[in-house]
């Protein structure tokens, strides 16, 4: 198996380093390439860099079978390069993470972590996104990924979906188990934060994400809050089939 690993926190982030170290131990691994942004590109979503060139720079790695590269672009750029020729071979699978912070509910629309996996899916590769709902227990989260690996390969991953995994920020022994979930939903985000720059002109910061609105049993929010790993299969097709069915006989002539 040839793996492509990316993220949106940067190639140097503790999450991607912990994940790479664990994946490098897989018996079926032939090669692993880390292709990740050269800086934090959180919330980059699915953006591609089209108006300037991208540079792939080799970075040192002490792990056998592992190559590591940084890219002056977005997570989607990184996966696009990794699959479409920059490595000189085709990876079999894309794994994005481990992100510092949850990617649940509406977050998946903004998330660079999920976007990296989405690009893998667009390009026909099995894709998984992994997030830690905090920023402390990355090594524990990586061990959970390793533990779940056979289950994911056998039952979950396929070429027409994305597997979105969110892990509570707890020591491994305190994780209660795993739940297969649907996406929850957040309230509208908090208002923007207005400040003044040194010249007295207004500047704005995007406000915090809204609290969970739909965190019912069965959602990713509920699972993580209860101490369980959340596994949510995602589809790319955004068609509103309910409306499509309701208006299929409407005449516009």
Residue 64 CA from chain centroid, whole number: 25
Query: 3-state SS of 180-195?
Result: ECECCEECCCCCCEEE
Residue 86 CA from chain centroid, whole number: 21
In three-state secondary structure terms, 34 is strand
From the list 7, 11, 6, the residue with the least C-alpha distance to 38 is 11
Task: Report the distance separating Cα 231 and Cα 220, nearest Å.
Answer: 8
Task: Report the distance separating Cα 216 and Cα 221, nearest Å.
Answer: 8
CATH numbers and ranges of domains, the chain: 2-189+215-246 (3.40.1210.10)
Q: Cβ distance 23 to 68 under 8 Å?
A: no
* Tens place of pLDDT per residue across the chain (253 aa): 999 999 999 999 999 999 999 999 999 999 999 999 999 999 999 999 999 999 999 999 989 899 999 999 999 999 999 999 899 899 999 999 999 999 999 999 999 999 999 999 999 999 999 999 999 999 999 999 999 999 998 888 877 889 999 999 999 999 999 999 999 988 787 889 999 999 999 999 988 777 777 778 999 999 999 999 999 999 988 899 999 999 988 887 7
pTM for this model (two decimals):
0.91
Encode 204-216: b = buried (16+ Cβ within 10 Å), e = exposed. eeeeebeebebbe
Q: Say if residue 128 is preceded by a cis peptide, omega within 30 of 0.
A: no
């Amino acid at each position: 198996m040839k793996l492509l690993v990316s993220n949106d926190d940067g190639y140097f982030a503790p999450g991607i380093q912990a994940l790479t170290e664990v994946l490098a131990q897989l018996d079926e691994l032939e090669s692993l390439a880390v292709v990740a942004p050269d800086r934090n590109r959180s919330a980059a979503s699915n953006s591609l860099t089209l108006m300037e060139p991208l540079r792939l720079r080799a970075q040192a790695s002490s792990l056998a079978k592992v190559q590591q590269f940084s890219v002056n672009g977005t997570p989607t750029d990184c996966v696009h390069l990794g699959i479409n020729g920059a490595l000189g071979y085709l990876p079999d699978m894309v794994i994005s993470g481990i992100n510092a912070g949850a990617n649940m509910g509406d977050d998946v629309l903004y998330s660079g972590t999920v976007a990296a996996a989405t690009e893998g899916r667009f390009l026909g590769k099995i894709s998984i996104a992994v997030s830690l709902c905090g920023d402390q227990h990355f090594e524990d989260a990586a061990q959970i990924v390793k533990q779940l690996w056979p289950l994911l390969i056998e039952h979950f991953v396929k070429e027409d979906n994305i597997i979105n995994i969110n892990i509570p920020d707890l020591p491994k022994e305190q994780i209660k188990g795993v739940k297969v979930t649907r996406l929850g939903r957040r309230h509208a985000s908090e208002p923007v934060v207005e400040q003044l720059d040194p010249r007295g002109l207004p500047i704005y910061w995007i406000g915090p994400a809204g609290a969970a609105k739909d965190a019912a049993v069965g959602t990713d929010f509920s699972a993580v809050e209860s101490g369980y790993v959340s596994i949510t299969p995602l589809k790319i097709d955004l068609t509103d089939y309910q409306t499509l069915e309701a208006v299929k006989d409407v005449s516009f002539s």
